[in-house]
Structure 1
């Protein structure tokens, strides 16, 4: 599929970039939901009826009673009053309803564009795939929430959290790529196989880094070492292989995850610096080039600030800024990768 920009596509392009912005907000709301411990406050999955919050005092008490049955309430938030519960309920409710709004924003204009014949046949199947990805993302989210709705687990599984997060970023990548195909003509691209391979490596490592970012959030692993540039005074901290197995350590041991997350950040700086230097004389890449270097440096800076201020709990503002810039870096590198797509002869 090689779609070029036309006047008729302008409304579709605006629609798609609006979707990109809404997905970014949704991921940030997910971050707030996680860091405020709000993700388990709604214990039921009601795709339609769940759009409304409890409408009276009795309904609120019922929702609160259901929350009080799970381990998180019993062992961490046993002191919660109904007012406290309403606060965490709000974030999870907003997160779910923003997802519903995204569905409406994508679906209603899609039908309108079909009726008005603004969308040609080459666009229909990619949009169907987009809706499937969106539906799967909602399903993954509920599977994640279910992992914490019991008396044993105090939080959702960080593995499922990472799956939910990466699925959201995959949706963001897909919509952005689709929008770029419609908004950027071939004259903006350049044949650069070496740079394309290098940006592909950056994207691959960045995806792994973002997975580890989700592990960091899910396990509150920033609290394992609130020092920089050392990790609790070490370059390689002790206790990294204390879980009884390599895979267990790299997926469940907070200090190991912390070490890997930092190491991947340094590796990304090096790779993006190399890409930056190699793309110096390519006019089509100058915007992406500057944005990539600035974004990765800002991302590392915010990561350092988050770690240094993570003494008792993770600082919400720094953590959200770190997550936001991480998404920005992903989008910049997707843009850079797109600009080196092979040109049709």
Structure 2
């Protein structure tokens, strides 16, 4: 018996799916704004976490001066931005405020429709825990965001790159989870689909690449070498500093992190090609979308290095990362649907 058969008559899978797709759109915008916030070094401009009252920005000169005084107390100002004007502070404050404000919007966009659909008993059976989990993850993501910011308020001049990675990967996980759920709700009888084995491996490879991309951003490792395919005159610079113990280089060494991010990309390409070849048999448009997203991302990554981490190129690179996640999720889901359909057609023959 399918989940749809057990759903209440009032279930509205398409409406719930549309809500989740809208949420994905907001998360995509959030990833872009988060990238701008990071690249403009704006993330530490607001030194307090006020989930409710913080929605209102400073409106008077006195309020602006108070926020500026709070910023002057942290190491980033004292060691890097000392002497910054109030006008410059307002510029970086805007991006961090916009990032947090969008987080509030996403929180409401996750909660209010969920409450309405639950009240109307419009959520199909088997999807209550998923939609509820998405809302809870959005709440947790807000706490992770502050946990990340707090790491740069006392001793560091920037946020922890490890916490930044947790923050970014959680955002992209919510994005992918919401998209997969939305696609499930649009499939025949709103039946949940299992991730095929190739999809699991592809997601794992992509997650590693996104992790090192976050490390690159957090360590400013994109500035280490602006040449490609070589790093300077060699594949890996022999004179590059090496950290002890050994494993720290895979987390804290900007040169090593950039090197891994450069070349692990082609492991992701290999999985994308395997997925696209299978997709070509069932959905040519999904195959093309996967090739286009990954190919564009590779080119933007190289361009980001060559440009010396130009703001616009780097933001496009982060935005396209979310599109790559979307292409992988949509493609793997299409394979899952095709596989389930193939098995259902073969079942009578096996029984016979």
Structure 1 residue aligned with 2:19: 15
Q: Which moved more, 1:245-254 or 1:109-118?
A: 109-118
* Counterpart mapping for 1:79-118 below 5 A: 79-118=83-122
CA distance in 2: counterparts of 1:325 and 1:199, whole angstroms: 20
Structure 2 residue aligned with 1:217: 217
Instruction: Name the TM-score, length of structure 2 as normaliser.
Output: 0.89
Q: 1:241 Cα shift?
A: 6.0
* Counterpart mapping for 1:176-255 below 5 A: 176-185=179-188, 196-239=196-239, 242-255=242-255
1:28 and 2:28 equivalent? no
- Render the CA deviation track for 1:153-200: whole Å, top value 9, x for unaligned: 110000000000001111111111110111122799999x9xx33332
Distance 1:190 1:168, change over 3 A: closer
Q: Which of residues 170, 178, 198 is equivalent to 2:173? A: 170
Structure 2 residue aligned with 1:39: 43
Structure 1 residue aligned with 2:325: 330
Task: Tell me the secondary structure at the aligned position of residue 11 of structure 1.
Answer: helix
* Counterpart mapping for 1:260-279 below 5 A: 260-279=260-279
1:156 and 2:159 equivalent? yes
Instruction: Name the TM-score, length of structure 1 as normaliser.
Output: 0.91
CA distance in 1: counterparts of 2:233 and 2:189, whole angstroms: 51
CA distance in 2: counterparts of 1:113 and 1:262, whole angstroms: 44
The question of whether the paired residues in 2 share the 8 Å contact of 1:188 and 1:339 is answered with no
Structure 1 residue aligned with 2:306: 308
Give structure 2 stretches of 5+ with no counterpart. Answer: 345-352
Q: Which moved more, 1:66-75 or 1:322-331?
A: 322-331
Task: Tell me the secondary structure at the aligned position of residue 12 of structure 2.
Answer: helix
Distance 1:53 1:279, change over 3 A: closer
Q: 1:8 Cα shift?
A: 2.9
- Render the CA deviation track for 1:250-302: whole Å, top value 9, x for unaligned: 1011110010001111222223223333444x22x322211111111111000
The question of whether the paired residues in 1 share the 8 Å contact of 2:304 and 2:310 is answered with yes
CA distance in 1: counterparts of 2:192 and 2:113, whole angstroms: 29
CA distance in 1: counterparts of 2:132 and 2:287, whole angstroms: 33
1:286 and 2:293 equivalent? no
Structure 2 residue aligned with 1:58: 62
CA distance in 2: counterparts of 1:225 and 1:102, whole angstroms: 36
1:321 and 2:325 equivalent? no
Q: 1:340 Cα shift?
A: 2.8
Structure 2 residue aligned with 1:70: 74
Q: 1:239 Cα shift?
A: 4.3
Distance 1:190 1:103, change over 3 A: closer
Task: Tell me the secondary structure at the aligned position of residue 331 of structure 2.
Answer: helix
CA distance in 1: counterparts of 2:237 and 2:15, whole angstroms: 53
Task: Tell me the secondary structure at the aligned position of residue 87 of structure 2.
Answer: helix
CA distance in 2: counterparts of 1:304 and 1:235, whole angstroms: 15
Distance 1:85 1:105, change over 3 A: same
Distance 1:287 1:186, change over 3 A: farther
User: RMSD in angstroms over aligned alpha carbons?
Assistant: 2.4
Structure 2 residue aligned with 1:340: 335
Q: 1:330 Cα shift?
A: 1.1
The question of whether the paired residues in 2 share the 8 Å contact of 1:251 and 1:257 is answered with yes
Q: Which moved more, 1:161-170 or 1:126-135?
A: 126-135
